[in-house]
Structure 1
Amino acid sequence: MTTVAAGFEELYGAPPEGVWAAPGRVNLIGEYTDFNEGLVLPFALPHRTFAAVSRRFDGVLRLHSADMGGEVVTLRVDALEPLSGSGWSAYPAGVVWALREAGHAVTGADVHLSSAVPTGAGLSSSAALEVVTALALDELHGFGLGRPELARIAQRAENAFVGVPCGIMDQTASACCAEGHVLHLDTRDLSTRQVPFDLAPHGLALLVVNTRVKHTLGDGAYAARRAACEAGARQLGVGSLRDIPYARLPEALARLGSETVRHCVRHVVTDNERVERVVAYLAAGDPRAVGPVLTEGHASLRDDLRVSCAELDLAVTTSLEAGALGARMTGGGFGGSAIVLAEADAVDPVVASVRKAFTESGYTEPEFFPASPSAGAHRVHSG
């Protein structure tokens, strides 16, 4: 935080008006359900994106990333156009555009960013970047937006400005999560419930395995899955796949002719049911029972949705063989990270086994870190 404030002053010649932080997230269960008005269960990571920000009143937006390097990106707020840029700067610029489109008078800003959220790892680095920008501008200008509305602004920036058709989960998690809890989010009505998630008293730990396989959701594969889900809803005569009860899934699948559509529908309906099961296990004080549900979720993402990759599959299968209680890929897939639920004293053997398996397969060595539910976006320093 001190570093990003000092970097701002060096760049722009004056201290920032404030510094804000927004976290990346891990999704415990409920993947590709958020754009189907379904259920998700994410929590915030301690890894955060920091933004030092000051207002401008001349219509100029200046953006800089300590991580990406390069010169300050200078834009005019009244000239921002959707799909007109690429790279990291499109995300904060998109937030400014989305705020102005929603009637909030952003008159310019100086922004300096620094992030510890791994990029391309399925941990929502883009959502953290959007949410931290939205929160800073909201508080500096006194717009008075609530956290759900900030999440919607951030999602609109990614959907309409950047061009990635993501759902609302990542931005809501970054904006709304609470320390020590998973966020039970119903994406149909955006209602939320904080569910306690403290594994240590049960002798358990949750491990993130970043395969270091970079993914991108803007290359069409993610959009193709979304299109298949929407086609399934149309063919079944429902507003969204959320309307398909789990008990009637076989009947619904029998009405679908396309194998691709059928697989996508099956994944979404069953993952909604998995979210409900996990919440019930946590409420009953039985987090060990969550493990097999995670593994079921991975099989569905691998076989039905087909969004896994060899490195993710190896991380999951090796973790299970080494004694983990459950494991699955998390995030949009095509690379990124897996999560592993294990007994706390089994974490080191799991790490050693996965590292060895990656080496023997000729893959880049993965990154490992514990995942502890952390606080959502907040102001960390006032100028």
Structure 2
Amino acid sequence: MSSPDPTLIDRFVEQFGGNRALAHVHAPARSEIAGNHTDHEGGHVVAGALDVAIEGIAALNGTMVARVASEGYEPFEIDLSDVSARPEEQVSTSGLVRGMAAELAATGREVKGFDLVMTSDIPGGSGLSSSAALELAVGRVMETLWPGDPVTPTAMAQAAQRAENVYFGKPCGLMDQLSEALGGIAHIDFKDPAHPVSEKLDFDFADKGYALCLAYMGTDHSVSTADYAAVPGEMQAVAAEFGQTRLCDVPAEAFDERVVDLRAKLGDRPVLRALHYYIENQLVIERWDALCAGDIDTFLDLTRRSGASSGMYLQNVANGGNDQPAMVALALAEHVLGDNGAVRIHGGGFGGSIQAFVPLDMVDHFVKSMDAWLGEGNCRTYRIASEGAYAAWL
């Protein structure tokens, strides 16, 4: 566990006063390495915690009020004497804090007021799941400040997912929260949502001659909320035709037999998105096997196929119209790389970020070129971080 920046402690004391026992919290961002929109269908993913994170300092304050100050945002307070969901707090940090309080209270803990100062170097709106990092940071703070049994990474991730679904009002799978809770690079099977199976791998892309780069388009995520929600909605509409809630419970063979009538009843896009699920889910398994074998060439070839499936079949790169920032970013990245490396849409898609695996000798040129087109600082390299979200007394 790393030590907090002393200036963060100074900020806490300046904001809330000192002479109290302090806890340090760390919650990393994540990158989806493989598995584009497979998690919510009970499929497989490979994800990695990143070397950018939320850092915070917290302490009990002797009240029933949570006081939160996050760098770059207005401080806020919420009364924790009532942790039920409030419609007016949806799509707000207040809602996430209240939701995590409800989750931690459900573990048998006594809810108490606290002060929390946070800072983050996760690029805002970049598709690296800063919201999940926030949920986990707050959850680990509450776990530490409120005595009780330890919460496993999986249980904390599930609590964060519920808080985001119910209190924040955003439908999401479990990949973001679980990968950030676990740390490192991990293969996760979501077949059983109550008990996802995960395994971690000690792997550094730089050892194989590549850098993990993410390029952010600088667009507003909120304008694509409906498009994002339609992806699982349409996949699950296909599953419902088989009496199931998720595609993992629909054998590919059964789907194949009904393509004609599914197209007639649901239209082509739900069928294409279901086809992406079956293609991508298999590619995840093959990419994980390639990583475990240290076979970077096979991994990159499969990654290119994954990117093509997302663009053509899943259709979460562009939603039509004149504005297609993600498609432009992908085309520019391929223009720079040529036959080298691999690029794909990253995460939810539409206006978030793209992912590129770039040969080390091309990184400077790649980043400089993408920044020139997308804006200074919108493309950068990342490393896999070994530690997941944690909090500890100082």
Q: Same fold (TM over 0.5)?
A: yes
- Residues 310-360 of structure 1: CA deviation (Å, up to 9, x unaligned): 22222222222323321112111121211111221122232344345x2xx
Task: Please point out which of 346, 349, 361 is paired with 2:362.
Answer: 346
C-alpha spacing 1:119/1:303, structure 2 compared with 1 (3 Å): same
Give me the identity figure in percent.
26
C-alpha spacing 1:380/1:168, structure 2 compared with 1 (3 Å): closer
Aligned residue in 2 for 1:171: 177
How far apart, CA to CA, are the structure 1 residues paired with 2:223 and 2:107? 25
How far apart, CA to CA, are the structure 2 residues paired with 1:99 and 1:293? 40
Does structure 2 conserve the Cα–Cα contact (< 8 Å) formed by 1:293 and 1:326? no
C-alpha spacing 1:253/1:364, structure 2 compared with 1 (3 Å): farther
Ranges in structure 1 where 5+ consecutive residues have no aligned partner: none
How does 1:58-69 map onto structure 2 within 5 Å? 58-68=63-73
Q: Does 1:8 align with 2:24?
A: no
* Structure 1 letter corresponding to 2:259: L
C-alpha spacing 1:203/1:22, structure 2 compared with 1 (3 Å): same
How far apart, CA to CA, are the structure 2 residues paired with 1:296 and 1:191? 25
How far apart, CA to CA, are the structure 2 residues paired with 1:185 and 1:139? 26
Give the secondary-structure state (helix, strand or coil) at the position aligned to 1:92.
helix
How does 1:153-164 map onto structure 2 within 5 Å? 153-164=159-170
- Residues 33-67 of structure 1: CA deviation (Å, up to 9, x unaligned): 11111111110111010121122453222122122
Give the secondary-structure state (helix, strand or coil) at the position aligned to 1:256.
helix
How far apart, CA to CA, are the structure 2 residues paired with 1:148 and 1:252? 36
Ranges in structure 2 where 5+ consecutive residues have no aligned partner: 319-323
How far apart, CA to CA, are the structure 2 residues paired with 1:52 and 1:16? 10
Give the secondary-structure state (helix, strand or coil) at the position aligned to 2:262.
coil
Aligned residue in 2 for 1:133: 138
Q: Does 1:191 align with 2:190?
A: no
How does 1:321-360 map onto structure 2 within 5 Å? 321-323=335-337, 324-356=340-372, 358=373
C-alpha spacing 1:225/1:328, structure 2 compared with 1 (3 Å): same
How far apart, CA to CA, are the structure 2 residues paired with 1:332 and 1:72? 29
C-alpha spacing 1:333/1:233, structure 2 compared with 1 (3 Å): same
Aligned residue in 2 for 1:214: 220
What RMSD, in angstroms, separates the aligned Cα atoms of the two structures?
A: 2.3
How does 1:77-88 map onto structure 2 within 5 Å? 77-78=81-82, 80-85=84-89, 86-88=91-93
How far apart, CA to CA, are the structure 2 residues paired with 1:197 and 1:255? 44
* Structure 1 letter corresponding to 2:301: P
Give the secondary-structure state (helix, strand or coil) at the position aligned to 1:185.
strand
Q: Aligned pairs, how many?
A: 374
Measured after TM superposition, the shift of residue 80 of structure 1 is: 4.3
Aligned residue in 1 for 2:330: 316
C-alpha spacing 1:160/1:355, structure 2 compared with 1 (3 Å): same
Give the secondary-structure state (helix, strand or coil) at the position aligned to 2:82.
helix
How does 1:26-175 map onto structure 2 within 5 Å? 26-68=31-73, 70-78=74-82, 80-85=84-89, 86-101=91-106, 103-143=108-148, 144-175=150-181
Does structure 1 conserve the Cα–Cα contact (< 8 Å) formed by 2:144 and 2:392? no
TM-score by length of 1: 0.90
C-alpha spacing 1:193/1:79, structure 2 compared with 1 (3 Å): closer
How far apart, CA to CA, are the structure 1 residues paired with 2:371 and 2:335? 13
Does structure 1 conserve the Cα–Cα contact (< 8 Å) formed by 2:182 and 2:389? no
Aligned residue in 1 for 2:209: 203
TM-score by length of 2: 0.87
* Structure 1 letter corresponding to 2:67: R
